[in-house]
Structure 1
Amino acid sequence: MKILVVGAGATGGYFGARLAQAGQDVTFLVRPRRAAALRERGLRITGPAQPQDEVITPQLLTADELSHPYDLILLSVKSTALKQALDDITPAVGPDTAIVPFLNGMAHLDELNSRFGTGPVLGGVAKVVTTVDANGDIVRLAPLAAITLGEQNSPTDSPRTQAIHTALTEAGITTTLSPAIVSAMWHKWVFISTLSAVTILMRGSLAAINAVPGGADLGPAILAEAAAVAAAAGYPVPEPELAATTGMVTQTGTLTVPSTSMFRDVESGQPTEVEHIFADLTARARTYGVPTPLLDLVTIQLRVHETQFKH
């Protein structure tokens, strides 16, 4: 299986490295600047959840060098780079190509389907707690590293999802085939938007927020809004998942849930995925007639944050 990993950042870099270490034929599609850094330092994985630092010498391509189809494309860019990425990967999409996206939210699935049709496009959910440091190294912050994937329009496995599952599993990646992948994508959207909104609105960790009077009420209130949108869309979050997320957003004492990547972007003064994660969610809420005052508030706050990058 010839695999193209689009992006060598926190998500694509981590999972792509695992596949390469397992002997898979993996190529990373990256920007010229990232390519130069990776050629100089290699693709490195480090961090508190990493038993020991690791480094691989990755196979790299830039967009102008891409000329033939791949069997599998793992799409792991941020939503702000999605449109350019879709242009870039067009030569890599052949009649037998499978595309598995790892973005949060749902708008990217609409764009992929519009560009390539539903045939090549699978649904995907990646759960990994990583970031990229100033050196360009991937920092693993927690042990969690798992992938869920499935056919968009089929409740059963297919030969291609089975082949992808085998490749990922043999690389030591916890992988699940879902008969309802779109539901799984919605449920992660609810989860990530809730955790991000709480910490971004309050500019603090969950433990610090819940330690002050009234703080523990905020997370469940935001979760209720996001879950109501998912339910209105036809993808209600199961009660056990709601209970687990409630437990996370109301934790006190020692911090057990790392901050979200969006909160880290805000704290470090970087652009965010506000349009993909929050603006799209609240826009869908309006079409369903679901009130989302807290999610509207974080959308406004992040759009104000984004204005500093438009000059």
Structure 2
Amino acid sequence: MSAVTDEQDALTGLRVAVLGPGGVGGLLAALLARAGASVTCLASAGTAERLRTAGVRVESGHFGDFTTPVDAAERLTTPVDVVLVCVKATHLDDALERVPADVLGDALVVPLLNGVEHVGLLRRRYPEAGVVPATIRVESTRTEPGVVRHGSPFVTVDLVAVDGLGQRVRRLADALQQAGVTTRVGDDEQAALWGKLNFLAPLALLTTAAQATAGEVRESRREDLVAIVGEVAAVARAEGAPADEEQVVDFFDGVPAGMRSSMQRDAAAGRPIELDAIGGAVVRAATRHGVAVPVTARYVDELRERHPGS
């Protein structure tokens, strides 16, 4: 059987719920629905009504501009195969009220959130489900309910095939790949989660504190950049994840100069920022392992003072 046929079979009958159809969730919902999956978006009453009537509109130089119909509801009421959790960490607790554990059953739960601590939270909340550690790399923004602007020339998802879920995770990977999402399956949970945080934490903390682009902070705050990258890498290694700080700095130096972090955009718009999920998680893990992270902690404290409640 050809790979294409395998992927098409992966999409046939696949039932996906997307919790939080914003920039990331809306894009994935639209791509999967366009490719043939059965997609239900879980959102507020107003957003759900808009999606049911108008579908999801994607504006993308990579995928083209298109609109695709989706189903939508305020709460999950029927079984699905997969729930993609795409809300911000700041809204996770409230959003999970839309996904009752007794309806979810043993479905896959795939959190595409920033940070590392949400995986344990989801496993405690949904003990019967298959929680799949995952990360996504994409620049995508919801410009209004049901409208997503995708800016990056890529969408990359990393999934971790934890014990007993390998076949189901690979089916999901095939479905995402067929929908146009570059998808990789690994077997190292800490490597997947900390691999993203190694870059994201320095980017988010520096750009938000300076209210400047990646290009600006890698020049004006070079010493702090190198320090934070090294501190996060040390914590990652203590957590059992591989980390190469030189590689992270090189990657940082190679990103577009105008790149901004989602935390920075949220701060500029007056929205809650994911400081606790990103910087706070690093500091807490460092404390557990007795790893010194003075520069990271200084930035976290500074941003916490500027954004109370974050």
**TM-score band, normalised by the shorter chain?**
0.7 to 0.9
Structure 1 gap ranges (5+): none
Q: CA deviation at 1:119?
A: 5.2
Distance in 2 of aligned mates of 1:186 and 1:67: 34
Q: CA deviation at 1:58?
A: 1.9
Question: 1:148 and 2:154 equivalent?
Answer: no
Counterpart contact for 1:206–1:255, Cα < 8 Å: yes
Q: CA deviation at 1:88?
A: 2.0
Tell me the equivalent position of 2:71.
Answer: 59
Q: CA deviation at 1:201?
A: 2.3
Q: CA deviation at 1:224?
A: 0.5
Counterpart contact for 1:272–1:302, Cα < 8 Å: no
Counterpart contact for 1:3–1:26, Cα < 8 Å: yes
Q: CA deviation at 1:208?
A: 2.0
What do residues 1-53 of structure 1 show as CA deviations (whole Å, max 9, x unaligned)? Answer: 21111110111111111000001111111111322443465312225x44632
Tell me the equivalent position of 1:165.
Answer: 173
Aligned partner letter, 1:234 = G
2:149 to 110, 125, 139: 139
Percent same amino acid among aligned pairs?
Answer: 27
Structure 1 length-normalised TM: 0.87
Structure 2 length-normalised TM: 0.87
With 222-231 and 195-204 compared, the bigger mean Cα shift is at 195-204
Q: CA deviation at 1:134?
A: 4.8
What do residues 79-107 of structure 1 show as CA deviations (whole Å, max 9, x unaligned)? Answer: 12211233321243123x11111112111
Question: 1:302 and 2:306 equivalent?
Answer: no
What do residues 83-139 of structure 1 show as CA deviations (whole Å, max 9, x unaligned)? Answer: 1233321243123x1111111211111111111227511111111111222566212
What do residues 122-171 of structure 1 show as CA deviations (whole Å, max 9, x unaligned)? Answer: 111111111222566212121120111123347xx721112112211111
Distance in 2 of aligned mates of 1:37 and 1:73: 20
Give the direction of change, closer, same or farther, for the CA distance of 1:118–1:248 in structure 2 (3 Å limit): farther
Counterpart contact for 1:278–1:295, Cα < 8 Å: yes
Give the direction of change, closer, same or farther, for the CA distance of 1:118–1:291 in structure 2 (3 Å limit): farther
Give the direction of change, closer, same or farther, for the CA distance of 1:21–1:194 in structure 2 (3 Å limit): same
Question: 1:14 and 2:27 equivalent?
Answer: yes
Structure 2 gap ranges (5+): 1-13
- Superposed CA RMSD in Å reads 2.3
2:202 to 191, 194, 199: 194
Counterpart contact for 1:30–1:60, Cα < 8 Å: yes
Question: 1:33 and 2:46 equivalent?
Answer: yes
Tell me the equivalent position of 2:59.
Answer: 46
Q: CA deviation at 1:202?
A: 2.0
Give the direction of change, closer, same or farther, for the CA distance of 1:170–1:73 in structure 2 (3 Å limit): same
Question: 1:94 and 2:105 equivalent?
Answer: yes
Question: 1:73 and 2:79 equivalent?
Answer: no
Q: CA deviation at 1:75?
A: 0.9
Q: CA deviation at 1:280?
A: 2.1
Tell me the equivalent position of 1:287.
Answer: 288
Q: Runs of 4 or more off by more than 6 Å in structure 1?
A: none
Distance in 2 of aligned mates of 1:277 and 1:225: 13
How many residues are matched?
Answer: 296
Secondary structure in structure 1 of the residue aligned to 2:33: helix
